[in-house]
Amino acid sequence: MDDPEVRRTIKRAKKLDPEAIGVLYDQNFAAIYNYFRHRVGDAMLAEDLTSQLFLKMVHALPEFRLGEAPFRSWLFGIARNLVADHFRKEKATAVLFLDEMGDTIGAQRETVLLNTEVEVVVKQAISEITSEQREVVLLRFFADLTHQEIAGLLGKTEASVKMLQKRALESLAKKLGGGVLVDQ
């Protein structure tokens, strides 16, 4: 569950305290944006969805019940719904994009080409695991949610989330021709 400081901030935000809303925004922006960025593969669209999410957060805060679910899990529930709505509206296929494989500013052309090739291979491998495994990988490694937060969000036990993650990493390791990938 949320720590006492977060709970106090949420209580203030529920009363539409701009400072408290700003704190929640600052604390969650990067994780939410990264989740959208990797789900939709477009930085500008990820920014739009992030803005929509925080507007929805402000409107829905009065209904948020402290203690029922961690706040971040609640936010990511909204995020998942926005992604689903987007793809329903666009009738598009979700494409996963990973962050650039390192800082390529000033890098030599060969390094950039190698990174691009690696990124393509990794994207392909991620697209081949089950959608449930893919969601756990995105939430765990790109949005940096805990196993507990993911479990609450997906309506699963922590143990089943850990098993999904383990299977996803094993599948990815096989597809990438390596050993076993380890949770960091």
122, burial (CB in 10 Å: exposed 0-12, middle 13-18, buried 19+): middle
What are the pLDDT digits (tens) for 52-74?
999 999 999 988 988 888 899 89
Distance of alpha carbon 156 from alpha carbon 9, whole angstroms: 27
Task: Give percent above pLDDT 70 in the chain.
Answer: 79
pLDDT for 140 equals 86
Establish if 67 belongs to a structural domain.
Answer: yes
In a domain, 100, yes or no: no
Asked whether residue 76 is assigned to any structural domain, the reply reads yes
Residue 151, SS3 per DSSP: helix
Residue 168: what pLDDT?
87
Q: Residue 145: what pLDDT?
A: 86
- DSSP character at residue 42: -
Say what the pLDDT of residue 124 is.
76
Number of Cβ within a 10 Å radius of residue 5:
9
Give the residue numbers spanning the domain of 75. 1-95
DSSP 111-149: HHHHHHHHHHHHHHHHHTS-HHHHHHHIIIIIS---HHH
Q: What is the mean pLDDT of the chain?
A: 80
Do the domain assignments include residue 20? yes
| CB atoms near residue 160 (< 10 Å) | 16
Reported as a single tens digit per residue, the pLDDT across 91-137 is: 533 333 333 333 434 444 444 444 455 666 777 777 788 989 988 88
Q: What is the pTM of this model?
A: 0.65
CB 115 within 8 A of CB 104: yes
Domain harbouring 68, CATH code: 1.10.1740.10
